[in-house]
Amino acid sequence: VEARGNLGAVLFKLGKLEEARAELERVLRQAPDFAGAHYHLGLVLAATGHGVEARRQYAEAVRLDPTHAEARLNLGIAYAQAGRLADAQRELEETIRRRPEMAEAHANLANVLVELGRMNDAVASYTEALRLRPGYALAHYNLGNALLQLRRWSEARAHFAEAVRLDPGMSAARAELERLDALP
């Protein structure tokens, strides 16, 4: 069963989403308590536009294995996408409690804090994500936006510039940088 679960995960990584889904569903019929298969099925469902079903799979993976940090992270992201910010915050904070070194959890918590209007807390979470992973271009961009809302122009500019340096194709960061450079 574990080998078939791994096959489903590999098929997902190869972009063979329907094959991955069929394989993972087959695994779960045989072993409904296989947390990893629920997690990977959640990834497949999210990638194919089935957000509600994906969220259910992540939640089941977390129920079966509360230490499954990636499932908990994705559950938090799925809650945020559904507008369930309190649930998202709870799951992301629990992910961080269990895996404080997970930069993605800090960055996604920061995104939720921005939605909740807690800019200073969001800045702190983005900053922690960047301490853990300095080359995280999207976190630099999002931190720049949070800093703009706090009117911390020069700091925002520095983070937009770093986002562009790390990912020259990030047009949104480039546009913010140009906008800031055009200010008197």
Give the pLDDT confidence of 77-135 residue by residue, as tens digits.
999 999 999 999 999 999 999 999 999 999 999 999 999 999 999 999 999 999 999 99
Q: How far apart are CA 90 and CA 176, in angstroms?
A: 31
Backbone angles phi, psi at 152, to 5 degrees: -100, 75
Residues 6+ apart with CB under 8 A from 66: 72
Closest CA to 88 of 103, 66, 67, 73: 73
pTM above 0.85, yes or no: yes
Q: How far apart are CA 35 and CA 41, in angstroms?
A: 10
Biggest CA–CA distance in the chain, Å, is 65
Q: How far apart are CA 109 and CA 92, in angstroms?
A: 6
Beta carbons of 57 and 29 less than 8 angstroms apart: no
> Which pLDDT band holds residue 183 (cuts at 50, 70, 90)?
confident
Which pLDDT value is given to residue 1?
84
Beta carbons of 1 and 32 less than 8 angstroms apart: no
The DSSP letter of residue 102 is -
Residue whose token pair is 């960061």: 173
Beta carbons of 121 and 149 less than 8 angstroms apart: no
pLDDT tens digit sequence for 24-59: 999 999 999 999 999 999 999 999 999 999 999 999
